Amino acid sequence: MEDDFDVGLVVVLRGVPTTRVNEVLALLGSEGIDGAYRAGDGTILVAAVDEAAARRVLTHVDVSSEGDEPGERAPTVVWSRRGAGALAVVALACVAVFWSTHLAGEPATRSRLLAHGAISWSLVESGELWRLLAAVFIHFDGAHLLTNLLTLALVGPPLAHHLGAGRFLLVFVVTGVAGNVFSHFLMPTVGLKAGASGAVAGVLGALAGQTLRPEFRGPLPRWQILGALGAVYALLVGAGPGRDNAAHAGGLLAGLVIGRLITPYPTDPR
């Protein structure tokens, strides 16, 4: 005879350890499905009417991977020492260039920005391609610099931890240049261009690209992770009037491709 707890419920997932229960139930809850956990045999149950939807949501959930026992699962990365040096190098480079272009707190002049490598369409066309890289570290004012550094502080640590310092710097530089190349060809203008937002978008794209790698294993399906990162992009980087949307899009797409291709930092075999 079934317990009252099981009446009207059907099993949709078995072998769920206690360390994974909250993740699975939260995933179901995000789709409006109420789930229950039976600790005796580690099963997840839902109402019969929700069975089909629950099985669809849980299709890619893997509860048999290593690290399910208490003390073995890696925590969500907010900040870690691995890759922190790369983030510090980027921040210091941006601040140093800002200090140099805004001498004694004075607003940067056009000539000073150009001397440091801001992008001028005509100068790049004349062969000064080095500006496509130099401009990544140049910012027009304090708000511009602070916005990019704060956004990088939010999206950078997980990727820096996952790839390591060297790979992270590679992603940042390459996607920043790619964004500037996109912008140069798709949005030519007589004004100057500069800023790290294309590279920041590239970091976010690389995070998404890592979820597309064949060895990726996570509690959420890839499409949900990509959707979440898209929402983060819209909130933190975004598009709109006055923004270099081509540089953002170029950096994001380049990051997505590089993130899919680049291998993560070698993990401890234990």
89 backbone φψ class: left, alpha, beta (φ>0; ψ -120 to 50): alpha
Q: Is 109 helix (H, G, I), strand (E, B) or coil?
A: coil
Domain with CATH 1.20.1540.10 in the chain: 84-261
Secondary structure E strands in the chain = 9-13, 35-38, 43-47
Determine the Cα–Cα distance for residues 70 and 62; give it in Å rounded to an integer: 16
What Å distances lie between residue 126 and 131, 136, 140, 141, CA to CA?
11, 19, 23, 27
Place of tokens 């006055």: 242
Tokens matching residue 28? 């179901």
CATH 3.40.605.10 assigned to domain 8-57? The reply is no
Q: CB under 8 Å to 70, separation ≥6 — which residues?
A: 19
- The helix-helix angle for 197-210 and 165-186 (nearest 10°) equals 120
Confidence (pTM): 0.67
Q: CB under 8 Å to 185, separation ≥6 — which residues?
A: none
Radius of gyration of the chain (CA): 23
Domain with CATH 3.30.70.1530 in the chain: 8-57
Q: Is 63 helix (H, G, I), strand (E, B) or coil?
A: coil
Topology classification of domain 84-261:
Rhomboid-like fold (1.20.1540)
Give me the tens of pLDDT residue by residue for the chain, a chain 270 residues long: 344 445 678 888 888 888 788 778 877 876 788 888 888 788 888 988 888 888 888 877 776 544 444 444 444 444 556 778 899 999 999 999 999 998 867 788 899 999 999 999 999 999 999 999 999 999 998 988 998 898 888 888 888 988 989 999 999 999 999 999 999 999 888 789 999 999 999 998 898 888 888 776 655 555 556 655 665 666 555 555 457 788 988 999 999 999 999 988 775 433
Helices then strands, each counted (H, E), the chain: 11, 3
Give the pLDDT of residue 134.
96
Sheet containing 35-38: order of strands = 9-13, 43-47, 35-38
Tokens matching residue 6? 């099981």
Determine the Cα–Cα distance for residues 102 and 234; give it in Å rounded to an integer: 30
